[in-house]
């Protein structure tokens, strides 16, 4: 539903300015529905992790005494959820877009491999970010404020609202280097074949590693800091 509205805005823009950012109208529509397919697996609107609720209720104490890394444990759960949502929330919008507007698809198997790799790293980056957001509850005791901040950053700077190529000048350069671009813009460009595969994957991997390391650090801090609530 929202994907369709977004597609019309992009179509109107590309009709006014054909060939903008190296996309043609079909590319723009494809971009719209491919990114729409990312919403579920990457939880672009936030949430998806049980942590904030568990911190608030005090159940986090149980998770911390378990003989498994909290981060890896949560990651495993999240990957399962992402795989499921990819099937039920990812494929249908793409098919809908194909029926209503017509979309392109990568032809060569190597490009598909690049897309899948990009998508997987995208999910890892999204997890890394949401994990940090979730742990912030330990310090703030309520997750709603940070959740809104995360929503704004993720939807706007990932390319979810508009392709990041449209952002003018220095702002454009900046947003394309930030981690959120690696979530949506990068895999979408890999899908469209508009980005060098090696370089894109390298930047994505860098962000995934950075966020994972920060997550590790935050987990360690939480172990010392956590306040167990409830009675």
Partner 1 sequence: MVRTYFLLAWTWTRAAAAYRASFILMLVFGLATGAMDVAAILVVFANTDALAGFTREEVLFLYGTASLAFTVCDTFVSNLDRISQHIKAGTLDTFLIRPVPAWIQIAADRFVPTRIGRVVQAVAVLAYAVAALGLDWRRAWMIPVMIVTGIVIFAALWTLAGALQFALTDAPEVANSFTYGTYQLNQYPLSIYARDLVRGITYALPLAFVNWQPGLYVLGRDDPFGTPGFMRFLGPAAALVLALAAAAAWRQGIRHYRSTGS
> Which CB, 45 or 86, lies closer to partner 1?
45
Taking the C-alpha atoms of residue 42 and residue 129, their distance in angstroms, rounded to an integer, is 10
With CB under 8 A as the contact rule, the residue among 25, 117, 132, 161 that binds partner 1 is 161
Is there binding between residue 205 and partner 1 (CB under 8 A)?
A: no
Q: Backbone dihedral region of 22: left (phi > 0), alpha (psi from -120 to 50 degrees) or beta?
A: left
The dihedral built from the CA positions of residue 153, 51, 184 and 95, taken in this order, carries a sign that is: negative
Least Cβ distance, residue 111 to partner 1 (angstroms): 27
Residue pair 98/49 in contact (Cβ under 8 Å)? The answer is no
Among 29, 75, 146, 218, binds partner 1 (CB under 8 A): 146
User: For residues 111 and 165, which CB has a smaller minimum distance to partner 1 in the complex?
Assistant: 165
Burial degree of 216 (CB within 10 A; 0-12, 13-18, 19+) = middle
Nearer to partner 1, 67 or 168 (CB): 168
Which of 151, 178, 209, 214 touches partner 1 by CB under 8 A? 151
199-212 core/surface letters (b: 16 or more CB in 10 A; e: else): ebbebbeebbeebb
Name the one range near partner 1 by CB under 8 A: 6-14, 30-38, 107-115, 186-194.
Answer: 6-14
Does 13 help bind partner 1 (rule: CB under 8 A)?
A: yes
Residue closest to 34 by CA, chosen among 92, 73, 82, 85? 92
> Minimum Å distance from CB 107 to partner 1?
29
Tell me: does residue 113 bind partner 1 (CB under 8 A): no
Q: 35, 185, 187, 40: which is closest to 114 by C-alpha?
A: 187
**Cβ burial, residue 79 (10 Å; 0-12/13-18/19+):** middle
What secondary structure letter does DSSP report for 168? -
| Residue 166 found at the interface with partner 1 (CB under 8 A) | yes
Residue 88 makes contact with partner 1 by CB under 8 A? no
Stretch that binds partner 1, among 35-43, 106-114, 143-151, 180-188 (CB under 8 A): 143-151
Q: Which residues contact partner 1 by CB under 8 A?
A: 1-2, 5, 8-9, 11-13, 15-17, 20, 140-146, 148-149, 151-152, 155-156, 161-162, 166-168
């Amino acid at each position: 539903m929202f994907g369709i509205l977004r597609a019309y805005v992009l179509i109107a823009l590309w009709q006014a300015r054909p060939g903008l950012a190296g996309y043609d109208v079909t590319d723009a529509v494809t971009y719209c529905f491919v990114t729409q397919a990312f919403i579920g697996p990457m939880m672009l609107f936030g949430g998806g992790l049980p942590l904030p609720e568990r911190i608030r209720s005090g159940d986090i104490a149980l998770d911390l005494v378990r003989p498994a890394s909290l981060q890896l444990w949560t990651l495993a759960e999240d990957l399962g959820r992402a795989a499921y949502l990819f099937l039920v929330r990812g494929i249908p919008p793409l098919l809908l877009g194909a029926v209503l507007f017509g979309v392109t698809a990568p032809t060569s198997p190597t490009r598909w491999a690049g897309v899948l790799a990009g998508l997987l790293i995208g999910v890892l980056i999204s997890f890394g970010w949401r994990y940090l957001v979730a742990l912030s509850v330990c310090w703030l005791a309520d997750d709603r404020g940070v959740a809104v901040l995360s929503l704004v950053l993720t939807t706007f700077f990932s390319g979810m609202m508009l392709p990041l190529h449209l952002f003018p000048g220095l702002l454009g350069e900046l947003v394309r280097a930030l981690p959120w671009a690696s979530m949506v813009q990068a895999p979408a460009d890999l899908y469209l074949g508009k980005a060098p595969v090696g370089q894109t994957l390298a930047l994505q991997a860098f962000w995934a590693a950075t966020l994972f390391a920060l997550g590790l650090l935050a987990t360690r801090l939480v172990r010392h800091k956590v306040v167990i609530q409830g009675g």
